Amino acid sequence: MTVDTGARRESPRSKRGSILTAAIEQFGRIGYEHTKWASIADEVGIGQTALYHYFESKAHCLLTIMRLELADSVDRFVAATAGAEDPEKALRAAVAGALRAEPIDALQRRILQNHMDLLAAPRQSEKEEAERLRSRELVQQIEQNWTDLIARGIESGDFADADPRIQGRLVLAVVISVWRWYRPDGTLTLAEITETVTDTVVRMVRA
């Protein structure tokens, strides 16, 4: 996804979405460390000082991108598994929902996976710390969702008797690892990857 050049004529008060889009593209393509904060301002068509109306730092913007992706991951899981009574069908749906993405979604998820270490230590900035804490809560919620799904399959006898928390984390690790290496212009389509990953995680947990 590219930033609409018409967005350059928007009021500065409506630039937050454009800033996030530009940041996702640059952090995802050339790396967070190599992205200059000023280049995001140039892409959006505002002065660098105007960025601070929305984000007090490049790190604050990064943590916001991570928190938004984690929140979206929770929503995708809930939507994918809603009404799925059979645990294996629910697991397959959860994997498909987790791996459904447009190119910019893939970039955002790559950013998240590449910078999870930022969530480990407290931030000095109040706004950065708020995003970090909320992100940690979302990580816990995501892990719990997958754990509960595996536990349901174990209770029903569909999945092998094992520690559901460990199994849930292993399954989740396989799923999210895709975003570290997947490229939209690569030789494998996301549909092909989803099929392989789904079959892999089902074999991991099946009784």
Structural domain ending residue among the three candidates 13, 29, 54: 54
Which residue range is the domain that position 86 belongs to? 59-205
Do residues 101 and 69 both lie within one domain?
Answer: yes
pLDDT tens track for 103-149: 999 999 999 999 999 999 999 999 999 999 999 999 999 999 999 99
What pLDDT, on a 0 to 100 scale, did the predictor assign at position 2?
36
CATH, residue 180: 1.10.357.10
The pTM assigned to this predicted structure is: 0.91
CA atoms of 41 and 19, how far apart (whole Å): 7
76 to each of 81, 84, 88, 126, 160, how far by Cα in Å?
9, 14, 17, 29, 26
Do 106 and 161 sit in the same domain of this protein? yes
The domain total for the chain is 2
Q: Do 145 and 184 have their domain in common? A: yes
